[in-house]
Amino acid sequence: MTTCSAPGKVYLFGEHAVVYGEPAVPCAVERRARVTAEPRDDDRVRVSADDLSLNGFTVTWGGGVDDRPDVDAPPALVEAAMRYVDEAVAQTRDALDDPEQGFEITVESDIPLGAGLGSSAAVVVAAIKAATAAVGVDLSAEAVAERAFRAEYAAQDGQASRADTFCSAVGGAVHVEGDDTRRLDAPQLPFVVGYDGGAGDTGELVAGVRDLREQHGFAADTVGAIGDLTRSGEALLDDAASNGLTDERLAALGELLDVDHGLLSALGVSARSLDEMVWAAREAGATGAKLTGAGGGGCVVALDRTDATETALELTPACERAFRAELATEGVRTESE
Ligand code: PMV
């Protein structure tokens, strides 16, 4: 039996623009999904997941795609969650070169689902690492990242970028630009996350930006400006990694977060709840704040070394939950064997 964990993520810079080949900088945060895997003697897969906001379910199903679980939960939700686990198991079997290996899998996660914090990627990354390790195969973080990307790509019908899975597997701050993914040098960053309890529809939001970009030159320029801002942000991170995250550098990074949020708003992907949380964070003394992920609802990320932003967010009606989430310098890791 092997337990592995993998972190969720926030976007420091670059969501949406990354769809058009601009760079983005997702950062892994210390909120983890933990997956325990144990090989079975048959070809069946049994999954238990108590806190995936599915109100708790335990299902057993066979290896075949037609053999669906019989559980008391909305079928669409179970179907969506099962696709990720199915695809993670498929990648594991491929890595093991054993299409009939069965598993007992337990999933626990303290990453809110569907909030743009990369919960599905973290589950897929931890599941592939744990299931392969349980059969004695040691995959590198990069190999896990590649297989997790393929699993998400299949589960999301080809609508997946490498950002979430790569970031979760290798940890830290990463650079994503098309297929170019690599880890960046970055200092420890004082992230505070505010969550409105909801989620935007990523497909719809991406399509909205695409339409705007096709209709208006300003929108294409805005996407380009997000790319420029991300490049400046990467240079700042590099400087702070080498020379320390002084208050001045934290303020400069925060300023870029604020501008990024403004550009994302211009592209139509913010929401009243996100704006309220962003302003609450700024007024509390965060050096900057922005929405993270697709937008439309979900989460904001702010930078603040003090407790003031977290407290202010907790008191903001639009905010359901606020928490501090340090940069997770470690990606996927084995917790116990
Ligand atoms: O909401 P998330 O974390 O899935 O992020 C979506 C990021 C986008 O850039 C809007 C879309 C994408 O696939 O990169």
Q: Give 109-123 pLDDT, tens digit per residue.
A: 888 777 789 988 999
> Is residue 247 helix, strand or coil?
helix
Q: Is the CB of 161 under 6 A from ligand 1?
A: yes
Residues of the chain with pLDDT below 50 are 53-58, 61-66, 70, 72
Helix (H) or strand (E) holding 195: strand 191-195
Residue 224 Cα, ligand 1 centroid: separation in angstroms?
A: 17
57 torsion bin: left (phi>0), alpha (psi -120 to 50), beta (else): beta
Confidence at residue 190, expressed as pLDDT on a 0 to 100 scale: 96
Confidence at residue 155, expressed as pLDDT on a 0 to 100 scale: 87
Count Cα neighbours of 112 within 13 Å in the Cβ-side half-sphere: 20
Q: Is the CB of 292 under 6 A from ligand 1?
A: no
Residue 102 Cα, ligand 1 centroid: separation in angstroms?
A: 32
Q: Is 180 a catalytic residue?
A: no
* Residue 42 tokens, joined: 């048959």
Q: Ligand 1, residues 9, 15, 29: which to mutate, most atoms within 8 A of Cβ?
A: 15
Residue 136 Cα, ligand 1 centroid: separation in angstroms?
A: 34
Q: Is the CB of 293 under 6 A from ligand 1?
A: yes
CATH fold of the domain at 192-325: Alpha-Beta Plaits (3.30.70)
Instruction: From the candidates 164, 196, 258, 260, give the one annotated as an active-site residue.
Output: 164
Q: How far apart are CA 303 and CA 291, in angstroms?
A: 12
- What are the C-alpha distances in Å from 191 to residues 11, 54, 81, 218, 260? 11, 28, 28, 31, 16
Q: Is the CB of 116 under 6 A from ligand 1?
A: yes
Other beta carbons within 10 Å of 104: 18
Phi–psi pair at 90, nearest 5 degrees: -60, -40
Residue 255 Cα, ligand 1 centroid: separation in angstroms?
A: 22
Handedness of CA 191, 196, 198, 204 (dihedral sign): negative
| Domain residue limits, the chain | 2-185, 192-325
Q: CATH number of 2-185: 1.10.287.110, 3.30.230.10, 3.30.1490.100, 3.40.50.300?
A: 3.30.230.10
Confidence at residue 92, expressed as pLDDT on a 0 to 100 scale: 97
DSSP string computed for 56-119:
SEEEEE-SSTT-----SS-HHHHHHHHHHHHHHHHHHHHHHT-TT-EEEEEEEE-S-TTSSS-H
* Residue 97 tokens, joined: 């070169």
Confidence at residue 96, expressed as pLDDT on a 0 to 100 scale: 96
- Residue located via tokens 């702010």: 302
Q: Is the CB of 19 under 6 A from ligand 1?
A: yes
